[in-house]
Structure 1
Amino acid sequence: MAKKLPKLNRIQILFLILTLALMCTIFCLSNENRNESGQTSSFLTTLAMKIFHSNYKNEFPEIQQELWEKTEFIVRKIAHFTIYSALGFCASLTVGKRRLFTLKSLGVIIFGFCYAMSDEIHQSFVPGRSCEFRDMMIDTCGVTCGIVISLALIGIIAHIVRKRSNKQRVVSRK
């Protein structure tokens, strides 16, 4: 007889919904062609240029182009890492409380890698986009970072709950 799936509590259901929403968001962003994707990231690239290259407008056009391309590349890779960190965070909290080095954590990393791989394959069918192994690795690192953050948060919350529980026991004994 097949095992029954464990029931999810309300928080796990919430994070399952957020995980699915992030997956849809990633799919939609990956469905943008090169020009649309460039417009999406140009706001952040412009902001980064103002912060890190304050003298940008005074540079020669060739240098401006080079600075723009490098900054845009970094912004895009940070965006990959960040959205996949959020995905890893939400997927990890969907799985629930556990330690870092468990099969459940490994399962979330494998899930993240598989989704990143499917995302890159999807992009290879979008005009002007490509399938890049480097992006899969950045995405998987983001998922792993999200898992670590979620487990740290679970640990902090568990510590606070234990402290409150211990205080209540001390107070109730008096």
Structure 2
Amino acid sequence: MRASPVTDRNGNQLLALDFIDESAVDIVHSEPVLPLSLVVVTYQGKVLMIFNRWRQEWELPGGMIEAGETPRQAAFRELLEETGVTVESLSFEARALFSLKNPDRLEYAAVYSAQLDALPELRINEEASAFLWWSPDAAGERNPGENMSALDAAIAVRVAG
């Protein structure tokens, strides 16, 4: 999905969200690199956002892919580490293309989703100091609210909204 880029307060941009097959994702030969997995977790139409202690903003659970890990394995691990949530399965949704600053670079992220049938017990930890069940809609993409990652909000709206 090539739409108008979404820009955050630091000048980072979500350039594209490509709804491709997971088999097309190649972290070894990817250009630009694909070092990151994100997870859009939904419960009763709302998306789980974590408040990142370091960046001081609401964002999707996710993080860096470790050596020897697949994007899917990283998504499972990051979701557990950042929220305490364990899911049986994840659905691959898209590959996001970002233009990032400091330093300037292009990067991909693998985007997965999980739909929960019950409200989970969430665990505050070193990275996540709070949790929010956020209602994604088109208005949220245009104006995600104070301290909400505009890029993650746009991904949530496009995947779950």
| TM-score after normalising by structure 2 | 0.26
Higher helix share: 1
Larger radius of gyration: 1
Higher strand share: 2
| TM-score after normalising by structure 1 | 0.25
